[in-house]
Amino acid sequence: MNTVHDAPGLKRLDLNLVRVFDVVYRERSLGRAAEELFLSPSAVSHAVARLRDHLGDPLFVRQGRGIVPTPMASRLAPAVREALAAVEQALVDRRGFDPGRDLARLTLALPEELEALFVPPIVRRFREAAPNLELSAVRLDRAQLRADLAAGRIDAAFDVARPTEDDLVHERVFEDDFCVVAAKGRRKLDRDGYLAAGHVAVSSRRTGPTLEDFRFGAQGLRRRVAVRCQRYETACLVAATSDLLLTMPRRLAPVQLRPLDLRVFPPPLEIAPIEVHLYGHRRTEESAGGRFVRATLKEALANALPSRAATSRP
């Protein structure tokens, strides 16, 4: 009967190569992997070459300025990450989890339009708990969310509520109503005026309807989007210097409007609240480090974000 111990050459495999493979797969770059592993790029390249010879597969091929995994590498990566995570967790459990010692890097994915609201309080809280932490906020790729969490390329993600696979866990951490902002010269805003006006919309997607437009479509309504951009900072500047309207989460408005000459109106038609959930991989959530990260993220947002009540009247 064949077992993993019967695999050809397993006893001759240098397990350090597995760690190199894991980091290269996550970083998609030999140079960045070398920095994380405190090795030279040539040492990382040599390690990958040895693993290629051992497995009989290229593992990574060049594409543009980076590298992409082969199908075999993509099949191996989740199992490799799970095995390494189990070893890492066993070592942490033995000595007890200490965020100042054990939490060196944290990568969070979120829609670009939420970065200004979410990232500052998260940074403040984690700097208190882990002063030497390297924290990265990266753009959310919804199509790759499950794979990125499983492979450890991201540790947690924020996104609107959506169906997920069983190996992902999520819970609501943010809920907000919408408001409408306009240049100071606008004196009133009613339903007909809203639908007749031009709008500036914010979305990290290149094309397709925004969340608000999905909600309008369900009511048989449609607005005219004249400008589409990626960040609310930009959209507010556009609204302040034009006759375009901007519909945005109410609790985000105080963050963006302070330096601008804008008026805030309640929506003249019904828009269901926005919900943002915190997503993680079930395997990570079962570790002491994963539980600490999730609890600290929730605490940072709960204590720092303005309440819905505090911003309920524009």
- Amino acid, single-letter form, for residue 25: Y
Would you give the end-to-end CA distance of the chain in angstroms?
A: 71
Largest CA-CA distance found in the chain, in angstroms, rounded: 80
Give the phi and the psi of residue 146 in degrees, each rounded to 5: -60, -45
Residue 117's Cα: distance from chain center in Å? 13
Region of 64 (left: φ > 0; alpha: ψ -120 to 50; beta: rest) is left
Helix (H, G, I), strand (E, B) or coil at 119: helix
Query: How far is residue 59's CA from residue 42's CA, in Å, rounded to a whole number?
Result: 17
CA distance to 89, 173, 233, 305, per residue, from 116 (Å): 33, 16, 9, 11
Q: Which is more confident, 12 or 137? A: 137
Query: How far is residue 304's CA from residue 118's CA, in Å, rounded to a whole number?
Result: 9
Relative to beta strand 198-202, strand 224-229 is parallel
- Amino acid, single-letter form, for residue 91: L
- Amino acid, single-letter form, for residue 301: L
Burial (CB count within 10 angstroms: exposed 0-12, middle 13-18, buried 19+), residue 79: exposed
Q: Which residues contact 270 (CB under 8 A, 6 or more apart)?
A: 219
Region of 190 (left: φ > 0; alpha: ψ -120 to 50; beta: rest) is beta
Helix (H, G, I), strand (E, B) or coil at 259: coil
| pLDDT reading at 196 higher than 90 | yes
The pLDDT-based confidence of 258 (bands split at 50, 70, 90) is low
User: 277 near 160, Cβ under 8 Å?
Assistant: yes
Share of the chain above pLDDT 70, in %: 89
Tell me the average pLDDT across 247-251: 89
Give the phi and the psi of residue 34 in degrees, each rounded to 5: -60, -40
pLDDT tens string 61-85? 988 878 999 999 988 888 888 788 7
**Which stretch of 50-64, 171-185, 294-308 has the lowest confidence by average pLDDT?**
294-308
The predicted pLDDT at position 6 comes to: 46
Query: How far is residue 100's CA from residue 19's CA, in Å, rounded to a whole number?
Result: 23
User: 268 near 189, Cβ under 8 Å?
Assistant: yes
pLDDT tens string 168-195? 999 999 888 999 999 998 989 999 999 9
Q: Where are the beta strands (DSSP E) in the chain?
A: 60-63, 66-69, 105-110, 134-139, 156-160, 168-176, 178-183, 198-202, 224-229, 245-249, 262-265, 274-281
- Amino acid, single-letter form, for residue 131: P
The predicted pLDDT at position 256 comes to: 67
Cα 284-299-119 angle, rounded to 5 deg: 85
Helix (H, G, I), strand (E, B) or coil at 63: strand
Domains and CATH numbers, the chain: 4-76 (1.10.10.10), 96-175+275-311 (3.40.190.10), 178-272 (3.40.190.10)
The pLDDT-based confidence of 227 (bands split at 50, 70, 90) is very high
